[in-house]
């Protein structure tokens, strides 16, 4: 079946997209990918069974605890290369086989009561490839202060920056970023910040491929400050009706902006490096460098 305006939530890792997506999936008209899609990528209809059971009177509360998953095994099964490309994927990377397989697989997932499929993808934006498969898709970009993102990278076990840019998942550094990194004595703090800039550059380029009416930018800081206002915009953008069920669920979440952590975790010298590396991009995306 054809999907009705699938909703893709995109953002770099550690941007807040996980909690954003989980809350959106509390809407009674929204379906999502679960671990079932990863366990059985060739049988996506099993994911639909979970969606159907989520609305059963007795099993509903239990099944709704099957939280959304990015399901990269699922994506890799239907679109080889999707999981760990060294650069952003574009329309030119999409084969007809993958286009058909992705549309067919994702079309099998929504239930009658939950016809709007919502998916989260972190890492490269993938907008060029995804909009080629689903021209009618809605894209929500979750944006977060690059200093918070860089600091968070350095505190998770899966950050590959410690291996150097020759061995991480983001390809070789562009010449100007390589020179910048070397000017900071190959600082890992600088490299984490540069990774955020590489992503933001990629998103800016990919965003030009999507009609602006199908792209919504959401600041994680704004989300934490006033989630009801932000989700009001999100529901309107997605074409989802207001819902008492969703409103009650939203009230049950506690969103805390930990945007000052990077100051506590990094030395003054490291903070200065990060501000110097990110200053122009921070200002461009609405984050004053000298704000408290």
End-to-end CA gap in the chain: 50
What residue ranges define each of the domains in the chain, with the CATH number in brackets? 7-284 (3.40.50.300)
Pure H helices in 184-225: 188-207, 220-225
CB 142 within 8 A of CB 15: yes
pTM above 0.85, yes or no: yes
CB 73 within 8 A of CB 41: yes
pLDDT at position 290 is 83
Q: Residue 253: how many CB atoms within 10 A of its CB?
A: 11
CB 235 within 8 A of CB 27: yes
Q: What are phi and psi of 32, to 5 degrees?
A: -155, 165
Alpha-carbon distance of 249 to 190, in angstroms, equals 39
CB 65 within 8 A of CB 22: no
CB 196 within 8 A of CB 281: yes
The ranges of the chain with pLDDT < 50 are: none
Residue 157 CA: distances (Å) to CA of 149, 153, 162, 249, 274: 14, 8, 10, 31, 21
pLDDT at position 63 is 61
DSSP symbols for 221-258 = HHHHH-HHHHHHHHHHHHTPPP-HHHHHHHHT------
Q: What are phi and psi of 143, to 5 degrees?
A: -115, 140
Q: Write the DSSP symbol of residue 266.
A: S
Q: Which helix (H) or strand (E) holds 139?
A: strand 138-143
Q: Write the DSSP symbol of residue 215.
A: E
């Amino acid at each position: 079946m054809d999907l009705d305006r699938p909703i893709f939530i995109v953002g770099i890792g550690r941007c807040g997209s996980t909690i954003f997506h989980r809350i959106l999936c509390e809407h009674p008209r929204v379906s999502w990918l679960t671990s079932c899609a990863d366990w059985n990528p060739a049988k996506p209809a099993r994911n639909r069974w979970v969606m159907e059971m989520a609305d059963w009177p007795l099993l509903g509360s239990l099944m709704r605890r099957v939280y959304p998953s990015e399901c990269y095994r699922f994506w890799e099964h239907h679109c080889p290369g999707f999981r760990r490309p060294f650069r952003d994927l574009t329309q030119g990377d999409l084969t007809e086989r993958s286009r058909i397989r992705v549309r067919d697989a994702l079309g099998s997932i929504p239930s009658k009561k939950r016809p709007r499929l919502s998916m989260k993808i972190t890492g490269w934006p993938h907008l060029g490839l995804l909009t080629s498969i689903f021209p009618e898709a809605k894209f929500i970009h979750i944006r977060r202060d690059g200093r918070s993102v860089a600091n968070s990278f350095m505190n998770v076990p899966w950050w590959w920056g410690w291996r150097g840019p020759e061995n991480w998942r983001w390809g070789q550094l562009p010449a100007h970023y390589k020179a910048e990194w070397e000017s900071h004595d190959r600082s890992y703090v600088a490299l984490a910040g540069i990774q955020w800039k590489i992503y933001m550059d990629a998103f800016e380029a990919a965003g030009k491929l999507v009609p602006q009416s199908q792209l919504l930018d959401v600041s994680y800081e704004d989300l934490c400050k006033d989630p009801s206002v932000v989700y009001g915009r999100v529901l309107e953008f997605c074409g989802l009706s207001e819902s008492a069920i969703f409103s009650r669920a939203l009230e049950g979440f506690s969103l805390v902006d930990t945007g000052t952590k990077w100051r506590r975790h990094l030395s003054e010298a490291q903070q200065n490096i990060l501000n110097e590396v990110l200053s122009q991009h921070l200002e461009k995306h609405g984050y004053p460098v000298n704000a408290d």
